[in-house]
Each structure stands twice: as structure tokens, then as C-alpha cells.
């Protein structure tokens, strides 16, 4: 959790902002702190950046403030273009029960149609990571290909697999997907949000792969 000026030290508009923050370098959050508020003014830094609503996938341009409607169940949270966020979306009673659940990757494209991210997996309990029993993966979307590659010489036999990929900011015309240029996958393209959903690639997170 960091103030915006840490990530954007040359943007003087961020210096006095005290009502929004970044989670890592990927998510912009604007809490609603005023009772009865129906909207808030959200500042989106960097005129070269694209920001995507994490719920609606609506795309907004950086470099200015925008009035955003809010409700008791919806606060402004945006993913920065150029990033990939892994998620586990199964609802469980505890985080430990999600350990072997499948992943969804939210791929938010930047102006160049690319995005990067990382994923770290271990057993979540022991110190076995010191013996290289973990996975540290580099995720990259470039040239209309999504790849997962090992960063370190380590291994962990996770049972988690890739259940879904959501690609945001993808122009019309790209509506099909394949695993390793072989198996065709079920896809749905939304022209309004320019988003492509790829269902059940089925690849193991413990292996390198290309979609």
C-alpha cells in the first residue's frame, strides 16, 4: 500500500492526494469515506496510462480526475494497463482451503497491447522455499500471445491450474485462442468493453506454457 506520489514522483497533482492509494503498482483504490456519498472524484495519474474498472472492465484514460458513481457495494478500484493480476475466485471458508484452487489471470493491456506480471506459489506453511520448493513465474502478454515462464530454478508440485483468462483492451478481430497453437479454447468477446474471456485453458501452473 503506497501513496500515488511514490509511484509518480513527477506528477505534482499526486502530492496532496490523501483519499486514494495504490496496492503495489497494479491497483488504484479510492475509498469512500464520506457518509451518504453517491460519487467521488478519482484522479488517474499518467496521461500515457490506461486504467480498467476491476468489476465492469470500463477503460479510463490517465492524466486527470473523473467523477465516479459509488454505492454501498461498489467502491472505485482500477487495474493499471500493462499489468497481469492472478486471482483465485472460488469462495471458501478460509484461505488455506483455496490452496489448490485454479487461477484466473486478469490481463490489462497498455497502449502497446502488452502486459506483464508475476506469480509466486509455495506450500504457504513451511520453510521449504529455502530448499527451492516454490514456483516463481513470469507472465507476459505480447504479440497476442500469453506466456508463463520460470524465473528461478525452483519447483513446487502445485495442483493449481489455469481456469480462465480475461484480456482487457483487446481490439476487435482477435476472438480465438489456442493452447500451444494446438487445442482450440472456448472464448467470448465483449465489443463494448473490448474484453476477451478464455475459458478453461487447463494448463498446469507448475509448467511453462503459451496461449
- The structure's pTM equals 0.93
What is the separation, in whole angstroms, between the first and last Cα of the chain? 32
Report domain extents, the chain.
4-80, 83-210
| Spatial separation of the C-alpha atoms in residues 206 and 145, rounded to whole Å | 19
CATH class for domain 83-210?
A: mainly beta
- DSSP bridge pairs for 183: 179
Please list the pLDDT of the chain residue by residue as tens digits (211 residues): 999 999 999 999 999 999 999 999 999 999 998 888 999 999 999 999 999 999 999 999 999 999 999 998 899 999 999 999 999 998 999 988 899 999 999 999 999 999 999 999 999 999 999 999 999 999 999 999 999 999 999 999 999 999 999 999 998 878 788 888 777 898 999 999 999 999 999 999 999 999 9
Burial readout 89-120 (b: 16 or more C-beta within 10 A, e: otherwise)? eeeeeeeeebbebbbbbbbbbbeebebebebe
Q: What is the CATH number of domain 4-80?
A: 2.60.40.1180
Say whether 83-210 and 4-80 share the same fold. yes
Amino acid at each position: 500500500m503506497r501513496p500515488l506520489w511514490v509511484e509518480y514522483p513527477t506528477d505534482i497533482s499526486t502530492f496532496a492526494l490523501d483519499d486514494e492509494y495504490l496496492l503495489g503498482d497494479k491497483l488504484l483504490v479510492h475509498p469512500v469515506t464520506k457518509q451518504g456519498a453517491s460519487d467521488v472524484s478519482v484522479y488517474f495519474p499518467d496521461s500515457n496510462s490506461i486504467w480498467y474498472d476491476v468489476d465492469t472492465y470500463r477503460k479510463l484514460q490517465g492524466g486527470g480526475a473523473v467523477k465516479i458513481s459509488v454505492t454501498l457495494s461498489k467502491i472505485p478500484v482500477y487495474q493499471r494497463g500493462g499489468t497481469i493480476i492472478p486471482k483465485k475466485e472460488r469462495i471458501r471458508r478460509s484461505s488455506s482451503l483455496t490452496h489448490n484452487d485454479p487461477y484466473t489471470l486478469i490481463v490489462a493491456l497498455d497502449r502497446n497491447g502488452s502486459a506483464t506480471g508475476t506469480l509466486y506459489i509455495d506450500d504457504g506453511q513451511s520453510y521449504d522455499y529455502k530448499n527451492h520448493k516454490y514456483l516463481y513465474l513470469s507472465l507476459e502478454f505480447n504479440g497476442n500471445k500469453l506466456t508463463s515462464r520460470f524465473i528461478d530454478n525452483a519447483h513446487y508440485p502445485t495442483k493449481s491450474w489455469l481456469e480462465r483468462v480475461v484480456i482487457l483492451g483487446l481490439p476487435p478481430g482477435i476472438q480465438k485462442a489456442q493452447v500451444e497453437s494446438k487445442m482450440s479454447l472456448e472464448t467470448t468477446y465483449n465489443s463494448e468493453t473490448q474484453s476477451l474471456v478464455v475459458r478453461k485453458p487447463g494448463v498446469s501452473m507448475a509448467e511453462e506454457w503459451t496461449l
